Amino acid sequence: MDSVPFRFIGEAVEVIFDQTPLLEKKPGCPSAFLWCGETHRIVQLLAEWHDFRRRGKMARNMQPNHAERASSRGSRGVGRYYFRVVSAKGRIFELYYDRALSSVDDRKGNWILLGERKVL
């Protein structure tokens, strides 16, 4: 299904899993997400990918040879898992799980609704 970006959203969302992921920091695609007071049930996974590049201050705190290895495998608190999905209402969304720690008290990472796409 070919699609193009339709609108940027960039908001934190709560996700729902029918089965709890085995590894909290390496989740699969969620079953649904809550956004703007509405539950969006995911009916199809179109694509998934990851990005383990280090960002911000994390990009400067590792030796180059270690950073290269970490960019392919990931390291603690670094990396994003992306998912392009179709909702039950036929809308296409991109969301990602960001493994970065938001604070010392919150070590679980965050889910972000990146945007909505439009079918060509």
**Using one digit for the tens of pLDDT, what is the confidence trace for 51-63?**
987 665 555 555 5
Task: Give the amino acid at 41.
Answer: R
Domains identified in the chain, total number: 1
Overall residue count recorded for the chain in this entry: 120
| Range of the structural domain that residue 113 is part of | 3-119
pTM: 0.78
C-alpha torsion angle, residues 27, 29, 34, 35 (rounded to 10): 110
**Rounded distance between C-alpha atoms, residue 59 and residue 35, angstroms:** 31
Percent of the chain with pLDDT over 90: 57
- Give the span between the Cα atoms of 7 and 114, in whole angstroms: 9
